[in-house]
């Protein structure tokens, strides 16, 4: 659902239809932002299986998927491998620079790329992409500066909601969903 301050959903759909690369933050986007630590200092994160399947559907539809995050975690490495995501960048201070380099490697323009973030530290990369999105429980200031705001929160289906939105904007969602009825 578009945030009320945004122009209109049609504009977001037009931008999403151009995507060939969609990147995601982790804490607060692919997770609910809660950080659990074991007594040994190991970090534990919880991921949504709905979000994971949405990411797989993007890949199946020919859209490159990337994770660009400021923190480093073995859990994220394992989750990315589980989903077949090969564009994984952790411990990143300048997400915009990483996104620009990835676009260059893939031969894509800014207009063909998107990013989903949840907090103000994500604004430089969000504003550098042709399409930008946030989770429903993201920071209100971020909501004012993105094209699409999910109804759901981070780690609770927001990524899947966005994936479905992108696939629908590209005219691919119905056929993908219908394929599950014939299996």
Positive or negative, the CA dihedral 53, 119, 170, 128 is negative
Q: Is residue 16 part of a domain?
A: yes
State the Cα–Cα distance between residues 120 and 138, nearest whole angstrom: 9
Q: What is the pLDDT of residue 110?
A: 97
Q: Is residue 53 part of a domain?
A: yes
Q: What is the pLDDT of residue 9?
A: 62
Q: What is the domain range of residue 116?
A: 9-178
Tally of structural domains, the chain: 1
* Confidence tier at 133 by pLDDT (50, 70, 90): very high
CB 173 within 8 A of CB 58: no
Q: Is residue 20 part of a domain?
A: yes
Q: Is residue 171 part of a domain?
A: yes
pTM: predicted TM-score of the whole model, two decimal places: 0.93
179: its two tokens? 């394929």
- Whether pLDDT at 7 is above 60: no
State the Cα–Cα distance between residues 172 and 105, nearest whole angstrom: 26
CATH code of residue 22? 3.40.50.1000
Q: Is residue 60 part of a domain?
A: yes
Q: Is residue 72 part of a domain?
A: yes
In terms of Cβ atoms closer than 10 Å to its own Cβ (0-12, 13-18, 19+), residue 93 is exposed
Q: What is the pLDDT of residue 98?
A: 98
- Closest residue by Cα to residue 96 from 76, 73, 121: 121
DSSP for 4-58, written as a single string: TTSS-HHHHHHHHHT-SEEEE-STTTTS-S--EE-TT--EE----HHHHHHHHHH
Q: Is residue 1 part of a domain?
A: no
Q: Is residue 122 part of a domain?
A: yes
């Amino acid at each position: 659902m578009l945030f009320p301050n945004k122009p209109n959903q049609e504009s977001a759909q037009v931008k999403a239809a151009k995507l060939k690369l969609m990147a995601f933050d982790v804490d607060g986007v692919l997770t609910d932002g809660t950080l659990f630590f074991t007594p040994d200092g190991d970090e534990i994160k919880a991921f949504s299986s709905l979000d994971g399947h949405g990411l797989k559907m993007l890949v199946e539809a020919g859209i490159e998927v990337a994770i660009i995050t400021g923190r480093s975690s073995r859990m994220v490495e394992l989750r990315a491998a589980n989903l077949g995501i090969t564009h994984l960048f952790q411990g990143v201070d300048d997400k915009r620079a990483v996104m620009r380099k990835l676009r260059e490697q893939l031969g894509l323009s800014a207009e063909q790329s998107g990013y989903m973030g949840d907090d103000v530290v994500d604004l430089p990369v969000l504003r550098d992409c042709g399409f930008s999105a946030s989770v429903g429980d993201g920071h209100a200031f971020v909501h004012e500066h993105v094209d699409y705001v999910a109804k759901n929160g981070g780690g609770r289906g927001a990524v899947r909601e966005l994936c479905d939105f992108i696939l629908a904007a590209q005219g691919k969602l119905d056929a993908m969903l219908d394929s599950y009825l014939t299996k």
